Amino acid sequence: MEDELRKTRVAVLGAGKMGGIILQALLKNNLLSPKLTCATVQHEERAKLLAAKLNVKVGTDNAAAVKGADIVLIAVKPQVVQEVIREIRGELTPGQLIISVAASVPTSMIESGLPEKIPVIRAMPNTPCSIGSGMTAVCKGKYADAKHVAMTCRMFDVVGRTVVVDEKHMDAVTGLSASGPAYIYIILESLAEAGVKVGLPRDVATLLAAQTTLGAARVVLETGDHPALLKDAVTTPAGCTIDGIMELEEGKLRVTLIKAVVRAAQRAKELAFS
Ligand SMILES: NC(=O)c1ccc[n+]([C@@H]2O[C@H](COP(=O)([O-])OP(=O)(O)OC[C@H]3O[C@@H](n4cnc5c(N)ncnc54)[C@H](OP(=O)(O)O)[C@@H]3O)[C@@H](O)[C@H]2O)c1
C-alpha cells in the first residue's frame, strides 16, 4: 500500500490548515513522491510560499491540478466545495478517487456534482493531526469500494488513528472527535487553573494537567479497559479522589459533556449541505 501511494498522483485542493497538515505529513513520511504531488490554494502569493516550503507544485487552478491525478483531496471550506466541484468536473474520470474532509458535506452532494461513478470518500479529521495524534473517521460514498477506503485510511494513519464508520454517523463524529479537542482544552485549562488555586506555579499546573490527560487517555487506548473500572482503581475508599468525584457529580460534569457532544452533532446536521 505504501509503495502504491508513492506511485500515486495526488492533488490537494485547498492546502490550508487541514489540507496542509495532511500534505506535509504524507511528504515528510515519504508516502508521496513530491514529483507526483500538487496542491492548490486561493491566493497566488500563498501558492508561491507553499511551493517553496513543500517543494511541490502549488497553484490556483483546480482544474489543471486534478488533470491526471489518481487521488483528489478536497480540503477547501465547506461552502466552497460546490464551486470547486464545478471547476474540476470536466477533468475527472471514474479511475480517480475523490476524498473530501469538508465538514457537513455529504458524499451524495459531491457525487451529484460529478460525472457518474466517480468514487467519493468523506473523512473527518481533527486538529491534533498536526502533531500526528489526530483522530479521523472515514466513510464511503455510493461508488467507493473497500480498496478506496483502505487507501484513504493509509493516508490518514500518517496523522493519527483512523476509524471507518457509516456516513450516518459523521455528524456524531463531528460533535465528538472533531469538536472534542476544544472540550478537552477547556477541561485541561480548568484543571491547570485549579492547580494554581491550590498553590502550584501555573507552568507546573499546566504540565500536571496535560500529562495527566494524556496518560489517562493512553491507558484507555492501551488497556482497552472500561474508563469506569480505571476510575475505580484511582478511587480509594474514604480517600481524596472520591471527594473530588462528588464535586464533579454535583457540578453535573457528565451530563454537561454529553449535552455538549449532542448539541455539536445537531449543529453539524443543521449545517449539512444538500
Ligand atoms: N481545521 C479543522 O479542525 C478541520 C477539521 C476537520 C475538517 N476540516 C475541514 O477542512 C476544510 C478546510 O478547513 P481549514 O480549517 O483547513 O481551512 P483553511 O485553513 O481556511 O483552508 C482552506 C484553504 O482553501 C483554499 N481555498 C479557498 N478557496 C479555494 C479555491 N476556490 N480553490 C482552491 N483553494 C481554495 C485557501 O487558500 P488560501 O490559503 O490562499 O486562502 C486555504 O488554503 C473545511 O472543509 C473543514 O470543514 C477542518
60 grid coordinates? 490556483
pTM to 2 decimals?
Answer: 0.94
Alpha carbon distance 168, 155 (integer Å): 22
The CA 259 to ligand 1 mean position distance, Å, reads 28
Per-residue pLDDT band at 4 (split at 50, 70, 90): confident
Q: Is the CB of residue 18 below 6 angstroms from any atom belonging to ligand 1? A: yes
- Please give the pLDDT value at position 116: 83
Query: Does position 2 have pLDDT exceeding 70, yes or no?
Result: no
Strands (E), the chain: 10-13, 37-40, 57-59, 71-74, 97-100, 120-124, 134-140, 160-164
Q: Best of 41, 73, 171 to mutate for ligand 1, by most ligand atoms within 8 A of CB?
A: 41
pLDDT of residue 94: 86
Q: pLDDT per residue over 114-161, tens digit each?
A: 988 999 999 999 999 999 999 999 999 999 999 999 999 999 999 999
Residue whose grid cell is 475527472: 92
What residues have CB less than 8 Å from 148, skipping those under 6 apart?
Answer: 97, 119, 121, 140
Q: Is 48 in the pocket of ligand 1 (CB under 6 A)?
A: no
Whole-number Å distance, alpha carbon 78 to ligand 1 midpoint, is: 8
Q: What is the pLDDT of residue 273?
A: 83
DSSP class of 41: -
Q: How many CB atoms lie within 10 A of CB 23?
A: 23
Q: How confident is the model at residue 60 (pLDDT cuts 50, 70, 90)?
A: very high
C-alpha cell at 165: 464508520
